[in-house]
Amino acid sequence: MVNKINTKVQWHYSIQSESQRILHTAHQISQYFYQKNNFCVLPSFPKGRYIKDSLVVFPDLPYPQRFWKEAKKLNLDQPIIVDNKTVIFLRQFINEEHLYHPVETFWRQKGEQILTRLVQVIPSMQTLQSITIHPTRFGTVASFNIPTKEKPHLFVYLRIDAPLSRLVEVIISAITRPQIFALHGSWEESEILADWFIAYSFLSLFFSKEEQYTGTIASIRSTKSTRYKQQNSYLEKLGFPVKKEVLTKINDDFHIGNVRIQNLSPKELSLLSLLYEKRSLSYDEIADALYKDYDDFSLYAITKNIQRLRKKLFASGVHQNVIQTIRGYGYGLKK
């Protein structure tokens, strides 16, 4: 017998929620999160085709200095409270009292069925008391909080161009991410798990073929286009230009700009040195270099070493995707 899920789902839009969304996006820009993770920040939806998952929409407005001060000090672990002056400022440019999301219609038809099926594979879904979805025109295609035992409520910002599959992906990510992190997984691995559910599990039957689900990781790792030139110009105007990160090797040390990259283990240093020298390495070459004294190495062990190295490089200011996966071959170092 299939248990019926009792999670309450509601859709809510207001000037306040849209102000929170803009402020949240501004905070991520000011912290260089989008710039470092290969998202494309533009002032409006581009004409023609574009990749939804890598696009960030941030309106081009005459932001006062206090707006950026407020955005920078935002704590994303806490509910976003927008200063009244900021709401009054943004109200001049947000003239919609209501924003209806097209996905709401599909959710009313399929939502309960989807949640019921999800509970069968993710039992912790049963503890989720409510899902509040805020339609928006801004930010990434979707974002969310992490529900807790004390506060079992999920709040989702769903951009107006997001399909049903993106909403379901967000719900999966929100529920499974704490468990992924508990297993020492990364943000990227959490996203890939949710992407797999949408693209290859029973859930794919709920979505129309026209949705053409790409997935967050595939999108932000895709080749940069001319839209990124528009982004660089826009971010420079906002005062947060994309920093050109150059990885250099001086003697036996690696540097990003003038900053020395520290805390690399001997194995990580050896791996980075080989990648720097050859620019690309096959799985066999990595195995010969790192596991020459062992017969029981695995692709999983290599993957975990690459993951740890990426994290340390990112913490030092190097683009997280400077080490790129070459499908069916190994890894390469982005110039």
Q: What is the pLDDT of residues 222-274, one digit of tens each?
A: 545 556 678 888 999 998 877 666 778 888 888 877 778 888 888 888 888 99
pLDDT, tens digit, for every residue of 148-187? Answer: 999 999 999 999 999 999 999 999 999 999 988 888 777 7
Percent of the chain with pLDDT over 70: 88
For residue 295, the model assigns a pLDDT of 62
Q: What is the mean pLDDT of residues 54-58?
A: 93
DSSP structure string for 272-335 = HHHHHHHSEEEHHHHHHHH-TT-S---HHHHHHHHHHHHHHHHHTT--TTSEEEETTTEEEE--
Specify the fold of 247-333.
Answer: Arc Repressor Mutant, subunit A (1.10.10)
For 140, phi then psi, to 5°, come to -75, 175
For residue 308, the model assigns a pLDDT of 85
For residue 317, the model assigns a pLDDT of 67
pTM recorded for the entire structure: 0.73
Domain ranges of the chain: 1-243, 247-333
- CA–CA separation, 20 and 74 (whole Å): 11
Confidence check: pLDDT of 214 > 70? no
